Amino acid sequence: MRRVFGGAQKRFIGLIEKIEGTLLVRVIRAGLINMVPVLTVGAFALALYAFPNEAYITFIQTFAGGFLYQFFHAVYMGTFGLLSVYMAISFSYSYCSLKDPEKKTDIWCILTALVAFLIMDGITAENFDFSTLGAVSVFVAMVTSIAASALYLAVYRRISVHRESFSYGADSRLNHTLIAILPTAVIIILASALSFLVTLTGKANLNELISDFLNRLFLQGSSSFGRGFVFVLLSGVLWFFGIHGGNCLQGVSDTFFVPLLDKNIEAVASGGQATDILCKPFFDCFILMGGCGSSICLLLAILLFSKDRSMRDIAKTSAFHMVFNINELMVFGLPIVFNPVILIPFITVPVVQYLIAYAATALGLVPVIASAVEWSTPVLIGGYMATGSVAGSLLQLFNLLVGTAIYAPFVYMMGHLRKARNLSYYQSFAGYYAANEERLQAVRLSEMSGDFGRVAKALILDLKRAIAAGEYCLFYQPQYNYDGHCIGVEALLRWKHPIYGLIPPPLTIRLAREGEMLEAFEQDILKKALCDREKLYARFGDGIKLSVNVSGYTIASDTYWAYLKTLCEEKALLPGQLCIEVTERAAIAFDSRLLQHFREMKAYGIRFAIDDFSAGQTSIHYLKEEIFDLIKLDGSLVRGMMTNPRCGEIIASIVQLAGSLGVSVLAEFVETEELKERLHRAGCNNYQGYFFSPPVELP
DSSP state of 445: G
In CATH terms, the superfamily for domain 450-697 is: EAL domain (3.20.20.450)
Q: What are the tens digits of pLDDT across the range 367-426?
A: 999 998 888 889 999 999 999 999 999 999 999 999 999 999 999 988 888 888 788 888
Q: What are the tens digits of pLDDT across the range 483-514?
A: 999 999 999 999 999 888 899 999 999 999 99
What DSSP element (H or E) covers 509?
Answer: helix 505-514
Identify each DSSP E strand in 402-485 by its residue range: 473-481
Q: What are the tens digits of pLDDT across the range 172-192?
A: 667 777 778 888 999 999 999
| Cα distance between residue 425 and residue 307, in whole Å | 19
Q: pTM for the whole thing? A: 0.71
At residue 670, does pLDDT exceed 90? Answer: yes
8 A C-beta contact, residue 49 and residue 79: no
pLDDT category of residue 5 using cuts at 50, 70 and 90: very low
Residue 345: Cβ-neighbour burial (10 angstroms; 0-12, 13-18, 19+):
buried
> Given this model, what pLDDT does residue 165 score?
47
| Cα distance between residue 208 and residue 214, in whole Å | 10
**How many whole angstroms from its chain centre is CA 52?**
32
pLDDT category of residue 26 using cuts at 50, 70 and 90: confident
Q: Which residues contact 63 (CB under 8 A, 6 or more apart)?
A: none
At residue 74, does pLDDT exceed 70? Answer: yes
DSSP 600-652: HHHHTT-EEEEEEE-SSHHHHHHTTSTT--EEEE-HHHHHHTTT-HHHHHHHH
Angle between helices 390-435 and 7-21 (to 10 degrees): 70
Q: Pick the range with the lowest mean pLDDT from 372-376, 386-390, 550-554, 570-574.
A: 570-574
> Given this model, what pLDDT does residue 103 score?
62
Q: State the average pLDDT over residues 5-31.
A: 72
**How many whole angstroms from its chain centre is CA 44?**
20
**How many whole angstroms from its chain centre is CA 650?**
48
Task: Give SS3 for 580.
Answer: strand
Higher-scoring residue by pLDDT: 642, 438? 642
Q: What is the mean pLDDT of the chain?
A: 86
> Given this model, what pLDDT does residue 158 score?
80
Virtual CA dihedral for 685, 689, 691, 692, nearest 10 degrees? 70
Task: Give SS3 for 307.
Answer: coil
Higher-scoring residue by pLDDT: 495, 131? 495
- Give residue 162's identity as a one-letter amino acid code: H
Domain ranges of the chain: 35-210, 218-418, 450-697
Virtual CA dihedral for 403, 406, 409, 414, nearest 10 degrees? -60
Q: State the average pLDDT over residues 110-128.
A: 89
Q: State the average pLDDT over residues 254-261.
A: 86
Bridge partner residues of 475 (DSSP)? 492, 697
> Given this model, what pLDDT does residue 463 score?
94
pLDDT category of residue 18 using cuts at 50, 70 and 90: confident
> Given this model, what pLDDT does residue 498 score?
84
Q: Which residues contact 488 (CB under 8 A, 6 or more apart)?
A: 478, 479, 544, 545, 546, 547, 579
Q: State the average pLDDT over residues 590-599.
A: 84
Q: What are the tens digits of pLDDT across the range 452-486?
A: 888 888 899 999 999 999 999 999 999 999 999 99
